[in-house]
Chains A and B, each alone.
Chain A
Amino acid sequence: MSWNRVAVVGGGLIKFGELFEQSYEQMAAGAFAAAVESVDEGFEPTQVEAAFVATQRGTLWGQEGIGGNTIPSAIGLPGIACTRIENACPSGSDAFRIGAMAVASGVHDVVLVIGVEKMRDKSAEEGLLARAAAGHPIFTRGETAPVLFAPFATRHMHEFGTTREMLASVAVKNHHNGALDPYAHFQNEITIENVINSPAVCSPLHLLDCCPQTDGAAAVLLVSAEIAKRYTKNPVWVAGFGVATDHPYLHEKSTFTSMQATEMAAERAYAMAGIGPNDIDCAEVHDCFTITEILDIEDLGFVEKGKGGVASLEGDTSLTGRIPINTSGGLLAKGHPIGATGVAQMVECWWQLRGEAQDRQVATPNGYALQHNVGGRGSGVSVVNILTNKRSPK
C-alpha cells in the first residue's frame, strides 16, 4: 500500500546551463518563483514553514561551510526554518525525502525542498573531484569523477558483452529527450558516432559519455495530504522512498556490475510504495555517465542484469519504449547541478504524472514515476523516491 501521506503541489526549475550571469541566490529565487507559480490554486510564499536546501559543495562557488541560512533571505523568507542537506549526488533527492518526512511527522504542513548548485563559478580544473584526490591520500590519488564509474563499464563490457555503441545509445537517447526539454543544458541531437569519436576522458568513457558541469536550481512544494486539495485538484503523492549506503572505496566493492546502494534503496522504496518495478511508468535515473544509466535500469529492476546495454540500444528506454528513462534529458543532456539534480528529477516526474510534460509526455497507465540518484565516494549513497497520481491505495 502506497504511503501517500504527503502531496507534491508545486514544482519548477530554471533553465539549466552555464549561468555565469546568475548568482547562487538568483538561481534559488528563480526556482522558488517557478514552483510557487506552478501551484494550480495559487500559493502565498509566506505559507512555507520550513525549507530543506540541497547544495552539495559550497567550495564550488567560493563558500565553504555554508548552512541552511543561504536560502531564506534569497527567496524573500528570512527567518523561516531551513536546513541544508549534503548527501553527495543524491543531495536533492535526499532533501526531498527528508522534507516529506518533516511533513508526514506532523511538525510542518508546508515545506519547500529546493536544490541549488553553482558548478561553473570555478574553472573545470577546480571543479568537483577534478582535483583527483578526495579521501584516502593514496587510494584516491588520480580519482577524478569518471574513475568512480568507468571501472564498472570495463567490467560490464567484459562480463556481458556490453559495447561502446550500447553505452553511446544512452547519450543519444538522452540528448534527444533534452532537445525536447526547454530547461535542458544541451538541446541538440547527437549520434552514436559523435559519442564514440568524442575525446577519451577516462577509458572506456569518452566526453559524450559524461554529463556536463552545469549550474541550476529546482524546487518543489510539499504539503500534508489533508490540505492538498487547497492547492490543486491534481496532486501527486509521495508513494515511497528508500535510501541506502555502500562501502565508500571502490576496492571495497564486491561487484563492478551493479551498484548495491541502488539495489537496496530501490528495494526499500518499492516495499514502502507496495509496488514493484513493473508498476513504474517512467523514471528519472542517475545518468552521470552512460554506464551509470545502464547499471541503474538493471539495479532498479527495469531490465534483467546484464541486459541494460542491449535494452538501451534497442530503444526500450526511449520516449516510446517499454520503460521511458530520463524523459527530461537526464544528467547527460539536462545537466547535473548536483544539489538541484534530484529536485529537478522530481519536477519532471511530477509533470509526467500530471500530463504536463509537453512533447516529452509519456503514457502513465499505472500512475507511478520513479526518481533515483546514486553517488558519493564509491557511489556509496543512493536515494530512490516514488511518486504516484493515484490517491487511493493500489
Chain B
Amino acid sequence: MISSINILAVGASGPDWRLDRAEINAGWGSSGGKGQVAVCAPDEDALTLGVQAALRALDASGLQIDIVDGLWWGTSRPPFAEGPSHAIMARAIGLSARSAGALCSGSTHSGMEALFGAADAIGSGTARVALVVVSDALIPGLGTNYETHSGAGAAAVVLVSHGGNATLGARVTRTNPYLDRYRGDGETSTRDFYDPRLFREEIFLPSMQEIGEHLSVRDINNWSIPDPDGRLGSTAARQLGVKNLVSDFANTELGDTGAAAALLGGIGSLDVAGSLAIIGTGGGRTSAVEIKAKGPVPGASEVRGDISGGTSVRYTAVARARGQLVGSGETVPMGVPPQSAQFVRGGDEMLTLLGARCVDCGTINTPPSIHPHCISCGGTKFVLEQLSRRGRVHTFVINQTMPAPFVAPLPIAVVDLEDGARIMLQGVGDGSDMEIGMDVELILRRYAHERGVPVYGYKVKAL
C-alpha cells in the first residue's frame, strides 16, 4: 500500500535586492513600468536562496536535521552546469553524508519534478522524511521583455510519511515538446519567448485550461498559477474561474521565480485549513498537484514576511551582479584555487560551519583544520560541533578600497557567537547598519565565482 504523503512544514526566502521595472525600462530608453522584481545580490544564487528556505522549513518542522533521508532540489539553473551542486547544498543545510535525493534541473518545471520525486520516495517507503527545495535565480537576456519579469526566490517543504497538517493529493502532468523560454548549451542567459502571442494562445493558456479542468472538479479554494509575464497568471485564473489566486503575492513581490514559483506562490496559504492547487510549467511540461490542509502548516504564516522587503538597487548594480556588466582589467583570484587541497581539507567545515571545542578548556577553535592545538590552552583533544548561527558584533570595519572583483563598501565583522566562538566574516550589504553590539545571524553566501566554481561561505547579517 502506498503511504500518504504529508507536509510537515514549509519555508521560503527571497533575495536581498529589488529592481523597479521602470529602472530596467529606462535603461533601454523607454519610460514607465510598474512594480518590481527580486534580484540576487552578487553573493546570492539559487543555492544560497534554497539553503535559506530549507533551514526555515526545517526549523519550523522541529525535526533534527540528521533524520532527513534526502534532498530533492528543483532549479532551472544550478550553480554548476555539471558538478557538486546537490552535494554542496545538502552539506550546507546540514544533511548527513548518507542522505539521498535528486537534483532536478533543465527547466522551470523542475520544481514540480523535485516535489514529485520526493513524494514518490515517501510513497514508496524509501524515505520517511524528504526535504524538497525549489529555487531559481534566472539570468534573463539583456533588453528582453523577460528581464522585467524574471525574479528570484526559493521555497522548501518537509514531506513525511506520518504526521503533518497537510497532505498531497491528486496530481497531473501534461507533456508537449514546445519551445518556451530556454537557454542553449553554453549560453549564459535565458532567451525570451520567440513570439509571446504564440506562447500565450497556443501553449500557456491551453495547458492551464487542461490541467485546471482536471483539478477544478475537486473543490479547491486556493490556486498558485504561473505568471511568466505579469498578466498571464490572472488571465489563466479568470479562464478557470479561480477566485483565490494566492500566488499573486509572491508574483508581485518577487516576479516570476521560475522553478520555485508553483510552491512559493502556494505555501503561504497553508497557514489555515483549506485546499490548494499548485501549477508549475516550463520546458514543454505542465504539472499540478492538490494539497489539502486540515490545519495550519508550521512555517506557512512566515512566508509573506520572509519574502518581503529587500533593498532597492540600480539596474547597473544588477547587471554587474549577474556578470552582464564586467569591468576591464584583471581581477583578484581566490587566494587558493578552488580545486586545491585547501578546499578539499577545509571545504566541508566551512559549509557546515564547524568549530573544534577543546575538551580541556572549552574554547572553540575555528576552523578545525588549521588548529591542531587549542589557541587558548594548547590542548589537542577536540569535539567537532556546528557553530551557533547567531551572535553579536564585537568590532567591524567597512572596507572601501579593494581591487576587482570586490565591490565597496564591504563590511567585515568580528562576531561573538552565542556558543562562545569568535569568528570574522564579511557582512552582507553595504554595512551602513552595522554597529558594535548588534545582533546578527550567519547565512550562507557565495564568496566568489571563479573558473566556473562558486565558492560558498558564511556572512554576517543583521537580525
Q: Which residues of A contact B366 (CB under 8 A)?
A: 251
Picked from B335, B342, B346, B424, the residue with its CB within 8 Å of the CB of A134 is B335
Q: Known: A136-B346, A147-B412. Is A152-B402 also a contact (CB below 8 A)?
A: no
Within 8 A of A (CB), among B416-441: 422-426, 436
Q: How far is the CB of B249 from chain A (nearest CB, A)?
A: 36
**Any B CB within 8 A of the CB of A107:** no
Q: Known: A133-B335, A138-B447. Is A155-B395 also a contact (CB below 8 A)?
A: yes
Residue from the set B346, B403, B455 with the largest chain A CB neighbour count within 10 Å: B403
**Any A CB within 8 A of the CB of B217:** no
Contact between A137 and B395 (Cβ–Cβ < 8 Å)?
A: no
Q: Known: A142-B426, A249-B424. Is A137-B336 also a contact (CB below 8 A)?
A: yes
Count of chain B residues with Cβ under 8 Å from any Cβ of A? Answer: 39
**Any B CB within 8 A of the CB of A212:** no
Contact between B375 and A252 (Cβ–Cβ < 8 Å)?
A: yes
**Any B CB within 8 A of the CB of A69:** no
Q: Which residues of B contact A160 (CB under 8 A)?
A: none
Contact between A141 and B457 (Cβ–Cβ < 8 Å)?
A: yes
Q: Which residues of B contact A151 (CB under 8 A)?
A: 395-397, 412, 414, 424
Picked from A154, A155, A250, the residue with its CB within 8 Å of the CB of B424 is A250
Q: Mark A241-277, 1 if CB is under 8 A from B, else 0.
A: 0000001011111001000000000000000000000
Q: Mark B367-407, 1 if CB is under 8 A from A, else 0.
A: 10010000100000000000000000011111111110010
Contact between B402 and A137 (Cβ–Cβ < 8 Å)?
A: no
Picked from A142, A146, A152, A202, the residue with its CB within 8 Å of the CB of B395 is A152
**Any A CB within 8 A of the CB of B343:** yes
Q: Which residues of B contact A252 (CB under 8 A)?
A: 375, 422
Cα A138 to Cα B352 with chains together (Å): 13
Contact between A200 and B424 (Cβ–Cβ < 8 Å)?
A: no
Q: Which residues of A contact B403 (CB under 8 A)?
A: 125, 130-132
**Any B CB within 8 A of the CB of A150:** yes
- With both beta carbons as reference points, the residue of chain A lying nearest to B457 in the complex is identified as A138
Count of chain A residues with Cβ under 8 Å from any Cβ of B? Answer: 38
Q: How far is the CB of B86 from chain A (nearest CB, A)?
A: 21
Picked from B400, B402, B425, B458, the residue with its CB within 8 Å of the CB of A132 is B402
Q: How far is the CB of B330 from chain A (nearest CB, A)?
A: 8
Contact between A203 and B398 (Cβ–Cβ < 8 Å)?
A: yes
Cα A158 to Cα B393 with chains together (Å): 12
What 7 new A-B contacts, CB under 8 Å, besides A132-B399, A146-B397, A203-B397? Answer: A141-B335, A142-B406, A142-B412, A199-B400, A203-B399, A247-B375, A253-B422
| Complex A-B, nearest 10 residue pairs according to Cβ-Cβ distance, in ascending order | A133-B335, A138-B457, A251-B424, A150-B397, A155-B395, A203-B398, A151-B395, A125-B403, A131-B332, A154-B395
10 contacts between A and B (CB under 8 A): A137-B334, A137-B336, A137-B342, A139-B425, A141-B447, A142-B406, A154-B396, A154-B397, A158-B436, A251-B366
